């Protein structure tokens, strides 16, 4: 597979010298799309985005243009545009490098999208832990104000827009759009009851559009090059380019921007192949919340339909690659520990269910499981999945059920044998020596209050 497969649009300038500076972005044609957009009617922009068939890049794949058109026309409250930049799922790593390397791509997208939605105030809610990215964003927004792209009377068009960069405070749940709104309003981030939907009563009970970073960043390209240009990429129902993040047991992990529908085989080739002497065991197609797949899915198109047909989801195209040295029990435990730690506590199945799953999985990893644990895991998952308030717990369940689906015997081995014995952890370590891994059997700090 050759490098020609790639379609660098969002990533095209990442290698440039100081790509994050406004002048360098402009040298590449940056903000031309904004000028063009300001000459169009907002409805024309929405039509273009609809025609391009841009689907949300945050995981769910909802058509972006359609989302914008849900905004009520007769609501007297202001319209807000909120960009979900709270990228924090294990494996997912596309928005943060984008905002780090080329924040202006996002800012230009924000300005065009806000104009299209008749919004005069846009918020970028960025994951709080990535301070360096927040600074880049803030600097980019400042530059955009100074250049007249943002603020009062943008480029003399009469259009006013404020852009606010807001830092999160360290909660995965705030990537859930309504929890994000609560957090942005200064409350604890917990998902809200729907209806009302954010399009009707979102931020400050006003009409609100919430889009992923990559979705918004894709808008300038569509406006600049036209819907047909975007439509030319991808598969029948999954159009355009997307950033695929490869991590794990590949030789050259990183971000690869390619048309939707590329296969993992092609991507692993682009990534220089698997780790020397190893073969693919399983992978997540779109972050830890998408059910895992195995080598039999190497040629399945990585688009919304292809992944759904394979029983998984495209998610955020975060391909975590694991080779045959990896214990799937251990991987699953790590993911579920993450979900337990990040469960907001609002609803019973997620709060209690993840607490339970972790304990059972820990037993299995340690070889202390009991006969019937696998059935119990599946039944507990059945009682969580689809019953919780938001999708967070569904992600935890997906990790467990898909792992058992493909590797049931490995879980059953946990009734008697520690995973470390079956899959010595140093064998799957990518960096450092085996000693680094000796800490993995200690309990995590969030068990405070548990009596032994």
Binding region for another protein (CB under 8 A): 171, 173, 188, 193, 340-349, 351-356, 359-360, 370, 376, 379-380, 382-383, 386-389, 446-452
What's the token pair of residue 387?
């019953």
Task: Please report the DSSP string for 149-199 in residue order.
Answer: SSBSSGGGSS--BEEEEEE--S-GGGGSHHHHHHHHTTS---PPPSSSPHH
Q: Is the Cβ of residue 339 or residue 425 nearer to another protein in the bound state?
A: 339
What's the token pair of residue 308?
């759904």
Rounded to an integer, what distance in angstroms lies between the CA atom of residue 243 and that of residue 433?
A: 32
CB 430 → another protein: shortest distance, Å? Answer: 30
Q: Is the Cβ of residue 297 or residue 340 nearer to another protein in the bound state?
A: 340
Q: Is the dihedral of CA 60, 65, 71, 72 positive or negative?
A: negative
Q: Is the Cβ of residue 65 or residue 175 nearer to another protein in the bound state?
A: 175
Q: Is the Cβ of residue 248 or residue 385 nearer to another protein in the bound state?
A: 385
CB 68 → another protein: shortest distance, Å? Answer: 25
Sequence-distant (6+) residues with CB within 8 A of 375 are none
Q: Is the Cβ of residue 323 or residue 342 nearer to another protein in the bound state?
A: 342
CB neighbours of residue 169 within 10 Å: 11
CB 378 → another protein: shortest distance, Å? Answer: 12
CB 417 → another protein: shortest distance, Å? Answer: 20
Backbone angles phi, psi at 84, to 5 degrees: -85, 100
Closest by alpha carbon to 125, among 81, 162, 157?
81
Task: Please report the DSSP string for 374-435 in residue order.
Answer: HHHHHHHHHHHTTTSSSSHHHHHHHHHHHHHHHHHHHHHHTTTS-HHHHS-HHHH--SS-GG
Rounded to an integer, what distance in angstroms lies between the CA atom of residue 136 and that of residue 128?
A: 13
Q: Is the Cβ of residue 321 or residue 347 nearer to another protein in the bound state?
A: 347
Rounded to an integer, what distance in angstroms lies between the CA atom of residue 214 and that of residue 117?
A: 17
CB 237 → another protein: shortest distance, Å? Answer: 20
Q: Is the Cβ of residue 297 or residue 362 nearer to another protein in the bound state?
A: 362
**Does residue 203 contact residue 184 with C-beta atoms inside 8 Å?**
yes
Q: Is the Cβ of residue 280 or residue 390 nearer to another protein in the bound state?
A: 390
DSSP H/E element including 144: helix 131-146
Backbone angles phi, psi at 323, to 5 degrees: -95, -175
Q: Which residues pair with 294 in a beta bridge?
A: 282
Rounded to an integer, what distance in angstroms lies between the CA atom of residue 359 and that of residue 408?
A: 18
Backbone angles phi, psi at 60, to 5 degrees: -80, -25
What's the token pair of residue 228?
């047909």
Q: Is the Cβ of residue 142 or residue 376 nearer to another protein in the bound state?
A: 376
């Amino acid at each position: 597979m050759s490098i020609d497969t790639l379609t660098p649009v969002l990533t095209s300038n990442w290698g440039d010298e100081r790509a994050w500076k406004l002048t360098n972005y402009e040298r590449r044609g940056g903000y031309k799309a904004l000028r063009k957009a300001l000459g169009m009617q907002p409805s024309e922009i929405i039509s273009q985005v609809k025609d391009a068939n841009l689907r949300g890049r945050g995981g769910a794949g909802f058509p972006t243009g359609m989302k914008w058109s849900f905004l009520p026309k007769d609501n007297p409250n202001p319209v807000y545009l909120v960009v979900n930049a709270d990228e924090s799922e294990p494996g997912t790593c596309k928005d943060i490098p984008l905002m780090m390397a080329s924040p202006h791509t996002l800012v230009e997208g924000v300005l065009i999208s806000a104009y299209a939605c008749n919004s005069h105030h846009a918020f970028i809610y960025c994951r709080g832990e990535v301070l360096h990215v927040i600074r880049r964003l803030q600097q980019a927004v400042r530059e955009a104000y100074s250049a007249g792209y943002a603020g009062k009377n943008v480029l003399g068009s009469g259009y006013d827009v404020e852009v606010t960069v807001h830092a999160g405070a360290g909660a995965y749940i705030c990537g859930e759009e309504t929890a994000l709104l609560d957090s942005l309003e200064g409350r604890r981030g917990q998902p809200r009851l729907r209806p009302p939907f954010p399009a009707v009563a979102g931020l400050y009970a006003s009409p609100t559009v919430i889009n992923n970073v990559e979705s918004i960043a894709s808008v300038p390209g569509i406006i600049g090059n036209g819907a047909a240009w975007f439509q030319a990429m991808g598969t029948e129902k999954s159009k355009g380019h997307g950033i695929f993040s490869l991590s794990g047991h590949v030789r050259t992990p990183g971000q690869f921007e390619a048309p939707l529908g590329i296969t993992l085989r092609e991507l692993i080739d682009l990534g220089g192949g698997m780790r020397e002497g190893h073969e693919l065991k399983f992978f997540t197609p779109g972050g830890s919340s998408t059910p895992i797949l195995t080598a039999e899915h190497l040629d399945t198109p990585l688009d919304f339909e292809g992944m759904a047909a394979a029983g998984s989801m495209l998610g955020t195209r975060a391909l975590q690659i694991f080779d045959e040295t990896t214990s799937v029990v251990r991987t699953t435990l790590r993911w579920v520990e993450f979900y337990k730690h990040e469960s907001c506590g609002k609803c019973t199945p997620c709060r209690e269910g993840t607490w339970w799953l972790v304990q059972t999985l820990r037993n299995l990893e340690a070889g202390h499981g009991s006969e019937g644990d696998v059935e119990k895991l599946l039944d507990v998952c059945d009682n969580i999945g689809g019953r919780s308030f938001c999708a967070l717990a569904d992600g935890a369940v997906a990790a467990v059920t898909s792992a058992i689906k493909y590797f049931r015997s490995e879980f059953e081995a946990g009734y008697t044998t520690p995973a470390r014995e079956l899959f010595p952890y140093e064998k799957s370590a990518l960096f450092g020596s085996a000693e680094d891994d000796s800490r993995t059997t200690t309990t995590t700090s969030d068990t405070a209050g548990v009596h032994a």
